[in-house]
Structure 1
Amino acid sequence: MSSQFLVWNAQGVTNTHVKRHLKNLIREHKILFATVIEPQRAAPAVGRNFQGLRFVGANVSGHIWILAHEDWTEEVVDDSRQVLHIKVTAAVFSFPIYISIVYGRHTRETRHELWKKLGDISLAVDGRPWLVGGDFNIFLTNEERQGSDTDKHRKMMEFADAIADCQLIDPGIDGPIFTWHRAGLRERLDMILIGEHWTSVFATTRVTHLARFSSDHAPLLVRCQFSVQRSRPTFRFQNIWVRHETFKSEIARVWEAETCYNGMMNLQLRPIRIKKFLKVWNRVVFGNIHQNLKNAEDTEESEVEDTYDRGRGQVLTEVTEIRNSVTTFFQQLLTSDVGGLDQPDLTLIHSLPDSVDQDALCSVPQEKEVRDAVFGSDVIEAVGDFFSGPFMTRSFAATMIILIPKKLNLVTWGDYRPISLCNVTNKIITKILASRLAPLLPLVIAPNQSGFIRGHLLSDKSCLLRS
């Protein structure tokens, strides 16, 4: 059993031939949900049949139309100029699915609003089946463009950051890679992305780039096969895995397989692929270890959920309440006394003696310099990519806060100690920068400064005053 979706920037559905082609696509592929981008005409009445499907509605700008099967129920959750986000329920779904249709604007600055909106939506749909598709007006890599060498690295990295922040996945495609063609320039501007929990409803998602007709954009056909599995546990790394005799060799094999990307993007994709492999490998080698762990953790989880919030003076049992409570507590703890940070005074760099090689501070590090921090060719390439100019992706810059219990009987959030887990690549880059700057600090810092200087102690000031 399956469901078919269609996403197409038709660039106008006023032409009789275009409307007939759309109707044929809907009939031929048994489309149950379709979206038309850039219809370039007034929207029909809600509920009216349009080319074989029921017209659901349009976004605030009229650039995104939604069409759906009469047995499906749709609810607009968020309506904006570049995104129309809806909730879809149907008898064939065990629970609602969420679909966000995108029509990205043409400039980098205006797309910032799009990336922020998708980030907000990702938080709202956390743990629910989510599909994002449409015309993003930007591609992800240079391999998705042909016929131009214009530098769009910053735009691509912002797109990659948005995908990583929303934890979206490209399910892959059939057909030509490019979805847009004009005057010898080809680009993949149209894309389908899915959230991790989309697979709780659909076992497989297959995206096909159909042939262009009239429009510069190709229609995207999405075929989803229903899954018999209703839910998936959160991924957890198990220590028992490292004791298996084939673990290291299998991880090395999967890691070394080509990703078709370079630099930071390459290093970002490899752990994602390792995670997917480990899920399958665990089931084959160890069986359903997650179910065994879940049975052992049920007692502990029930105690954690019955958390007492001293500030509100009540017992919290709902997951949403616990989540909001811990977020509020640690936001106040970690940010209440933090003021704005001033921009660094870069004039200090120019005050260094001429004998100092200032260009070396920003130069691409040599392999030995990176190996002094950690070994690995992928890491070396990613670190070198950062020093070549690209922005660091948020997946590298992000920090995960983990709560460590301070005592055995945990009652309030104050009984936990938060620690930050930073990305290793970020720490390597920081260490390289720090090691390069360390020899120069004595040249720009006054000799009477005692704190945070090698060979100087804060106690030196106290000893001087006493003497």
Structure 2
Amino acid sequence: MNGHKGEATFTYVGCTKDARKELWNRCQQVNSPWLVGGDFNCIISTTEKSGGRTPNLAKMNTFRDNIHRAGLFDLGFKGPNFTWKRGSIWERLDRMLVNDAWFNYFLLSFVTHLSLAGLDHRPILMSITSTDNYSSPSPLDISTCGLHILHIIAKALRGWSWNTFGNVHATVQKVEGEVKALENGGLLGIEEEKKLLIAHNNVLSAIDYKEKFLKQKEAMNIFTNGDRNTRFFNAYIKYKRKCNTIHAIQNVNGQWLHNNNDIANDAICFYKELLNQEHNLRPHIEKAHFMEELNYTVVLKLTDIPTEKEIWNAISSIDSTKSAGPNGFTAEFYKKSWKIFKTDVIVVVTSFFQGNNLPNYFCSSTTVLIPKSEIQKNW
């Protein structure tokens, strides 16, 4: 497709443990784009079964671990939840798995479960579109206002980062090439040995920068510092990008929309109508029913202006890797720059507790619709 080629493996896995073991022993990681699909005779979670006996937890965990060990990702699906039926038992036994290289060229790959047609398994439709023909839609920007000083700092930091580290991916390839060139130069003298040692150190530094960059970008905390999972991070970023993109949606009339502009316009219409609906006024609540709770909250003095120590304690309690907004400044930034921003932050917090109107950049926001499930049917 558009000059890009990939490999596809279609399989039927037996129900026995030995048959499954033989399959995964043959499923070695492939560097080229690779798709593995078929009847795996196993499920990943309890949500993939309805009726019958409780699924075997150990069997599901083994299946999930084998998928991860082979470097594969489940493409998900659209349509009915289950692909196999026997009596009152329904299960999702059929699925399509791909490796990280597949996402480089075929990010827009969709799996649809079709209707049963005389068999106990549903037919599966695989739709593949090259990323060369796709342009990602922009988020729904309600406002682009932001804190001016942070905007200036962000711009300066981006420039500093590029001038200092450059393209981390290209840097790793460059320094690795320098090491290979020195190693292939034959016998090395003292000066060449020094150069080779420096080149080795440059490789380690470049890899360290690249891993830190990828860890920050994919925002995962499940690995400890020092774990070498660069390939996994790259694959996870691509997989998360696919999952967070709304490729198709069903409007209120039951019609499926696939065009980016149609999806964006339908989202705007849906949420405009939703947010403009008249809400039924709730009946008046007597305060007398909550006097005990009211007295408790009064003792807490929640409306009192917090002290500098209380504000600092609140900031310190935030996970250092978390960001409060789309500007990308994490809690760690505020912690390490507290002496610089302390006065401004205290003034803003104090102003809020005094009842003053909030600045525009506190009230503005950017709305990004992120699917929370594999089955994306409607808003």
- TM-score strictly above 0.5: no
Question: TM-score of the superposition, structure 1-length normalised?
Answer: 0.33
From the two aligned structures, give the one with the greater helix fraction.
2
Which structure would you say has the larger RCO, counting Cα contacts within 8 Å and 6 or more residues apart? 2
Question: TM-score of the superposition, structure 2-length normalised?
Answer: 0.41
